[in-house]
Amino acid sequence: MTGMSRYYVTRSLLCVAVGAVIGLGFSNWWLGVLTALATFASFVWIARSGRYVVRDETSAAPMRTDEMSQAIRTRAARDSFAVQTLYLSALVICFGLITPGDVPVELLSLALALSFLVYVVSDWRQRR
């Protein structure tokens, strides 16, 4: 059995376990099946996305990161942090100086969503 075969076998067992926990916890068998399929699809995508170097000589964990992937993730995290800092600074100026008041929770959760979106887009653009 090659390294990638072991990878898929171990990940499929993990997906079945996660699906069983979700299915039994929420009492919906179809939700457990969908969770298991989505989890396995993400593992397949990760293996084929080019984000990791595949080394078949290792057993159940054949994927490793290289220096280029680490540099891309670092730049994407930097971009995300910069955008989040600017957004939160604008909230401080708006709700602290211009119109003093409480900051709505929706605007704070938008900061997290915006930061995540910038990270994903920045990572995707740099890998092209």
34: its two tokens? 């969908």
Q: Examine the domain organization and report whether 43 and 75 are in the same domain.
A: no
Distance of CA 3 to the CA centre of its chain: 24
CA angle 70, 122, 48 (to 5 degrees): 60
Q: Examine the domain organization and report whether 51 and 73 are in the same domain.
A: no
Q: Taking the chain (128 residues) in consecutive chunks of 10 residues, what is each chunk's mean pLDDT?
A: 74 92 88 93 83 68 76 94 95 88 88 94 88
SS3 64: strand
Q: Examine the domain organization and report whether 53 and 25 are in the same domain.
A: yes
Model-level pTM?
0.64
CA–CA dist 106, 103 (Å, integer): 9
SS3 85: helix
pLDDT of residue 61: 66
Count of structural domains, the chain: 2
Q: Which distant-in-sequence residues (6+ apart) come within 8 Å of 75 by Cβ? A: 122, 126
Q: Examine the domain organization and report whether 121 and 73 are in the same domain.
A: yes
pLDDT of residue 50: 72
CA angle 56, 58, 62 (to 5 degrees): 60
Q: Examine the domain organization and report whether 90 and 58 are in the same domain.
A: no
What residues are paired with 63 via a beta bridge? Answer: 54
Residue 59 lies in domain? 3-64
Q: Examine the domain organization and report whether 79 and 92 are in the same domain.
A: yes
From 39, 64, 89, the end of a domain falls on 64
Question: Residues 9, 44: contact at Cβ < 8 Å?
Answer: no
Q: Examine the domain organization and report whether 59 and 97 are in the same domain.
A: no
